[in-house]
Amino acid sequence: MRRKKSRRLALTIDAISSKCQKDDQQQHSEQLSTKDKQVAPPQDPAFSAVPKWTWKVVKSAKKNAGIAFVTSNNPFRTAISAGDVLCPDICGSAGWGKVEFADLSKGYTYCCTVDALMKKVPGIPVEAKVTSVLTF
Protein backbone atom coordinates (compact mmCIF):
# COMPACT_ATOMS: atom_id res chain seq x y z
CA MET A 1 0.00 0.00 0.00
CA ARG A 2 1.39 3.36 -1.03
CA ARG A 3 0.95 6.49 1.07
CA LYS A 4 -0.22 9.72 -0.44
CA LYS A 5 2.26 12.54 -0.22
CA SER A 6 0.91 15.51 1.66
CA ARG A 7 2.01 19.11 1.52
CA ARG A 8 3.79 19.82 4.79
CA LEU A 9 4.61 23.13 6.36
CA ALA A 10 6.85 23.27 9.39
CA LEU A 11 5.69 25.88 11.89
CA THR A 12 7.86 27.61 14.43
CA ILE A 13 6.14 29.81 17.01
CA ASP A 14 7.73 32.11 19.55
CA ALA A 15 7.19 35.51 21.11
CA ILE A 16 9.19 38.67 21.42
CA SER A 17 9.48 39.55 25.09
CA SER A 18 8.89 43.23 25.51
CA LYS A 19 6.44 44.95 27.81
CA CYS A 20 3.01 45.76 26.54
CA GLN A 21 1.62 49.12 27.70
CA LYS A 22 -1.82 50.65 27.68
CA ASP A 23 -0.49 53.77 25.97
CA ASP A 24 2.70 53.33 23.95
CA GLN A 25 3.51 57.04 24.38
CA GLN A 26 3.91 56.69 28.16
CA GLN A 27 7.36 56.16 29.63
CA HIS A 28 6.16 53.91 32.44
CA SER A 29 4.30 50.63 32.61
CA GLU A 30 0.65 50.63 33.64
CA GLN A 31 -1.58 47.77 34.60
CA LEU A 32 -3.57 46.58 31.63
CA SER A 33 -7.21 45.85 32.34
CA THR A 34 -9.58 43.65 30.38
CA LYS A 35 -13.13 44.29 31.58
CA ASP A 36 -13.05 43.23 35.24
CA LYS A 37 -9.61 41.58 35.25
CA GLN A 38 -6.26 43.22 35.93
CA VAL A 39 -3.06 42.16 34.21
CA ALA A 40 -0.07 43.05 36.36
CA PRO A 41 2.96 44.85 34.96
CA PRO A 42 5.80 42.54 33.80
CA GLN A 43 8.05 43.31 36.79
CA ASP A 44 5.63 41.57 39.18
CA PRO A 45 7.07 38.03 39.60
CA ALA A 46 3.62 36.60 40.32
CA PHE A 47 2.52 37.26 36.75
CA SER A 48 3.86 36.51 33.28
CA ALA A 49 4.89 39.37 31.02
CA VAL A 50 2.60 40.07 28.10
CA PRO A 51 4.61 40.02 24.85
CA LYS A 52 4.33 43.19 22.75
CA TRP A 53 4.69 41.22 19.50
CA THR A 54 4.27 37.55 18.66
CA TRP A 55 5.72 35.96 15.57
CA LYS A 56 5.40 32.80 13.54
CA VAL A 57 7.61 31.44 10.78
CA VAL A 58 5.88 29.29 8.16
CA LYS A 59 8.35 27.20 6.19
CA SER A 60 8.01 24.81 3.27
CA ALA A 61 10.84 22.33 3.68
CA LYS A 62 10.32 21.05 0.13
CA LYS A 63 10.80 24.52 -1.41
CA ASN A 64 13.16 25.79 1.32
CA ALA A 65 10.92 28.88 1.36
CA GLY A 66 9.38 30.67 4.29
CA ILE A 67 7.68 33.80 5.57
CA ALA A 68 7.47 35.38 9.02
CA PHE A 69 4.20 36.77 10.40
CA VAL A 70 4.49 39.37 13.18
CA THR A 71 1.39 40.35 15.19
CA SER A 72 0.82 43.10 17.74
CA ASN A 73 -0.40 41.68 21.04
CA ASN A 74 -1.65 44.98 22.48
CA PRO A 75 -5.43 45.49 22.16
CA PHE A 76 -5.06 49.08 23.40
CA ARG A 77 -2.95 50.24 20.45
CA THR A 78 -4.52 52.98 18.40
CA ALA A 79 -1.80 53.31 15.75
CA ILE A 80 1.31 51.61 14.39
CA SER A 81 4.20 53.84 13.37
CA ALA A 82 7.09 52.95 11.08
CA GLY A 83 9.37 52.84 14.13
CA ASP A 84 7.22 50.13 15.72
CA VAL A 85 7.74 47.50 13.04
CA LEU A 86 10.70 45.14 13.19
CA CYS A 87 11.18 44.62 9.46
CA PRO A 88 9.69 45.70 6.11
CA ASP A 89 6.16 44.43 5.39
CA ILE A 90 6.10 42.04 2.42
CA CYS A 91 2.57 40.61 2.90
CA GLY A 92 1.19 42.22 -0.26
CA SER A 93 4.08 41.38 -2.56
CA ALA A 94 4.16 37.77 -1.32
CA GLY A 95 0.40 37.29 -1.78
CA TRP A 96 -0.40 36.99 1.94
CA GLY A 97 -2.02 40.43 2.36
CA LYS A 98 -5.44 40.56 3.99
CA VAL A 99 -7.58 43.52 5.02
CA GLU A 100 -7.94 42.01 8.51
CA PHE A 101 -4.17 42.29 9.06
CA ALA A 102 -4.55 46.08 9.54
CA ASP A 103 -7.26 45.74 12.24
CA LEU A 104 -5.59 46.93 15.47
CA SER A 105 -8.31 45.43 17.69
CA LYS A 106 -7.61 41.96 16.25
CA GLY A 107 -3.84 42.35 16.37
CA TYR A 108 -2.10 44.29 13.62
CA THR A 109 -0.19 41.74 11.52
CA TYR A 110 2.52 42.14 8.92
CA CYS A 111 4.92 39.83 7.09
CA CYS A 112 8.72 39.83 6.86
CA THR A 113 11.35 37.77 5.19
CA VAL A 114 12.63 35.18 7.62
CA ASP A 115 16.15 36.60 7.28
CA ALA A 116 15.00 40.15 8.18
CA LEU A 117 13.22 38.89 11.31
CA MET A 118 16.20 36.76 12.33
CA LYS A 119 18.39 39.88 12.21
CA LYS A 120 16.07 41.66 14.68
CA VAL A 121 15.03 38.80 16.97
CA PRO A 122 17.71 36.73 18.68
CA GLY A 123 16.98 33.10 19.37
CA ILE A 124 15.03 32.14 16.27
CA PRO A 125 16.08 28.54 15.59
CA VAL A 126 18.55 28.05 12.74
CA GLU A 127 16.08 25.53 11.26
CA ALA A 128 13.89 28.51 10.31
CA LYS A 129 16.47 29.74 7.76
CA VAL A 130 15.26 29.62 4.16
CA THR A 131 16.57 30.58 0.73
CA SER A 132 13.41 32.24 -0.61
CA VAL A 133 10.09 33.81 0.36
CA LEU A 134 7.06 31.52 0.61
CA THR A 135 4.37 33.02 -1.62
CA PHE A 136 0.66 32.32 -1.49
Residue 122's pLDDT band, with cuts at 50, 70 and 90, is: confident
pLDDT at position 75 is 80
pLDDT at residue 118 greater than cutoff 90: yes
Residue 106's pLDDT band, with cuts at 50, 70 and 90, is: confident
pLDDT at position 83 is 87
Residue 14 CA to residue 87 CA, distance in Å, equals 16
Mean pLDDT of 45-66: 85
Mean pLDDT of 104-108: 90
pTM: 0.69
26-37 pLDDT, tens digit each: 333 344 444 444
Is residue 136 within 8 Å of 95, Cβ to Cβ? yes
> Between the CA of residue 128 and those of 60, 78, 125, what are the distances in Å?
10, 32, 6
pLDDT at position 42 is 54
Q: What is the mean pLDDT of the chain?
A: 77
pLDDT at position 69 is 95
Residue 91 CA to residue 52 CA, distance in Å, equals 20
